[in-house]
A and B are shown apart, each in its own frame.
Chain A
Amino acid sequence: MDLALFERKSEFEWRIKPFGRMHVPGVIFASETLMREMDAKVYEQVTNVAMLPGIVNASWAMPDAHWGYGFPIGGVAAFDADAGGVVSAGGVGFDISCGVRTLLTGLRIEDIDKVKVRLADALYHAIPAGMGSTGAIRLDDAEMDRMLRGGARWAVKRGFGTEADLERIEEGGCMHGADPLQVSDQAKKRQRDEMGTLGSGNHYLEIQQVTDVYAPQIAAAFGVKAGDIVISIHCGSRGLGHQIGTEFLKRMVMAAPGYGIELPDRELACAPIESPLGKEYLGAMRAAINCALANRQILTHLTRQVFSAVLPQARLSLLYDVSHNTCKVEEHKVDGRIKKLHVHRKGATRAFGPGHPDLPRELRDAGQPVLIGGSMGTSSYILAGTEQGMQLAFGSACHGAGRAMSRHQALHNWNGKNVVNELAGCGILIRSPSMRGVAEEAPGAYKDVREVVDAADHAGLARKVARVVPLICIKG
């Protein structure tokens, strides 16, 4: 990207002065290296978002920003309903509430070594992954609606976990304001066989080892120390969320002129928060958040069943569950006054700082755990929200490594079987139904997540707490 387009506010903050129809500045948080490598489309998309009605403070992009749909992946923007603010289906994306949850196990690396292959095979057998895989649970119409209203809370009631799990999920595991009536029959039909499935693409379940601890006090509050085994699950709202995204994108594109909204890009399809369409979308989108939370909860249950058979001494408890693609109503300080805002995070993680009332009591002093996934052969990171991050971008941080090249290019460069063999040589067991999928997700196809995490840490968005590396990866 051409750095001359930006005013450098600090080492990690790059500002685009408002021009044309922009209501607010654009701000990208990144190192100079990341900025130089960043797709020029990010600049265009950050400025486009700044043109949407009712946007507050700035159109932000996180250090892992790349070319997305309307919003950049890694884009954050908040809207004020009182100022004609909008809610955007494009700003949330197709995989509504796609996110990561990390489980503590109470196990150490030496506990895993002897059973690693058996554990990998048992997990691969138990976790439905990839296209065409189905879950063991079928929901009838009434139960589907209960799931869409209740989220992980519904799943726990059905026996997929414990009350203690819920405290460690954003919104206590149940997104309020979900309206199953706004979810189409098609979306529900797409979901019928997909509860408790991982999906495909960049979704995974990983057994990981904690290798480094950077902030011992916070790590202790998180219950994480070097040598520990943890489990991370990355997936979202499956077919239901995808269908809701698809349907509302079209409806909002068609309705925008009627609302007097001139869209700089069709993917920025949006409607005023207070409009009937805006409200319908919020009801459906919140139901999709619940679907994602329920889905990750069921996958947690399946994982626990495998561990109780293979490593019965393990105790799987939630560290935390974060969502990446959401629009949430939050209170933030704007010009010294507390305001209720609709905060869109597209490929960005909520990262509330210490003391935030929405955090569970045991984590409140440490700040919210921010779980950052790498590619399948490389590190992932655990960060914590900061007070500074609350001021910088309404409590938001990066979400992952971001692709360095297209799937097309990755297929050209790698062969799935070789990738699996090479990683096995490094002690990382990959299990996947598709070798082409593995090639498309080869570690080399992603950016170095360390650079992204360091930039988030240096910018003050979130604080680096620990690094984990994969031992087993179940890939959709």
Chain B
Amino acid sequence: MTSAARWEHFPHQADIGVRGLGATLAEAFEQAALALTAVITDLAIVEPKEMIQLTCMAPNTELLLVDWLNSLNFEMITRNMLFSRFEVHLEENRLTAQAWGEALEIARHRPAVEVKGATYTALKVAQQSDGGWFAQCVVDV
């Protein structure tokens, strides 16, 4: 793993893991969110047209990652939207973010699955030896 911002999926027997990597913790959280959208559809076809704002709080950064992904999932489902661009700001254990996306169109986005929730399985947020961060957990689909 390097500190260049990127995301990836990792295997879990029944579900799927999302992992974000970045130079900062906030960047790793943004990348993890991209990995979440990519569980559902191809990121390249989600236009960042509309912006929403969200906030979450948790007692530590790992629980905060799960909260962040669950808050996003809640917005996706209740607004019927998909998101493809994120800006995360972290202060202590409080996260504020902006997410850009568009309305879900089933015929165009062909969502593979809906996400039930982000879990505490394989949950890890940590700094690596090169100073970069990674943030990961398994999502239940």
Contact = CB atoms under 8 A, between A and B. Distances in A.
A282 interface: no
A278 interface: no
Given A94-B117, A242-B116, A131 B104 contact: yes
21 contacts: A67-B13, A67-B14, A93-B140, A131-B104, A131-B111, A131-B114, A132-B106, A186-B74, A190-B77, A200-B112, A242-B116, A242-B117, A243-B117, A249-B120, A250-B67, A253-B63, A254-B59, A267-B121, A405-B13, A434-B110, A436-B110
B113 interface: yes
A130 B40 CA distance: 11
Interface stretch (A300-308, A386-394, A406-414, A453-461): A406-414
Interface string B27-55: 00000000000001000000000000000
A130 B140 contact: no
Nearest to A192: B78
Given A132-B104, A408-B9, A437 B16 contact: no
A201 B113 contact: yes
B12 interface: yes
Contacts of A253: 63, 120
A250 B63 contact: yes
A313 B141 CA distance: 38
A405 B12 CA distance: 8
Contacts of B104: 131-132
B112 A69 contact: no
A436 B41 CA distance: 9
Contacts of B61: none
A199 interface: yes
A433 B106 contact: yes
Contacts, number: 115
Nearest to B9: A408
Given A66-B13, A67-B14, A200 B111 contact: yes
B80 interface: yes
Interface residues of B, number: 36
Given A132-B106, A201-B141, A267-B119, A66 B14 contact: yes
A254 B16 CA distance: 25
A65 to B, nearest CB: 11
A-B pairs, 9 with minimum CB distance: A406-B11, A131-B114, A131-B111, A436-B112, A266-B120, A242-B116, A246-B117, A94-B116, A408-B11
Interface string B68-104: 0010001001101000000000000000000000001
Contacts of B14: 66-68, 73, 402-403, 406
A156 B15 CA distance: 34
B126 interface: no
Interface residues of A, number: 47
A440 interface: yes
Contact of A403 (B13, B80, B113): B13
B123 interface: yes
Given A189-B78, A435-B110, A406 B117 contact: no
A69 B114 contact: no
A434 B58 contact: no
A243 B106 contact: no
B135 interface: no
Nearest to A199: B114
A169 to B, nearest CB: 23
Given A130-B106, A201-B113, A67 B140 contact: no
Contacts of A130: 106, 111, 114
A230 to B, nearest CB: 26
Nearest to B13: A67
Interface in A381-426: 402-403, 405-409
Contacts of B116: 94-95, 201, 242, 245
Contacts of B12: 67, 406
A284 to B, nearest CB: 15
Contacts of A246: 70, 117-118
Contacts of B66: 250
Interface centre among B15, B78, B120, B121 (most CB of A within 10 A): B120
B81 to A, nearest CB: 10
B110 A200 contact: no
A94 B120 contact: no
Given A189-B78, A242-B117, 9 more contacts: A41-B13, A66-B14, A69-B138, A130-B106, A131-B104, A200-B113, A249-B119, A403-B14, A434-B112
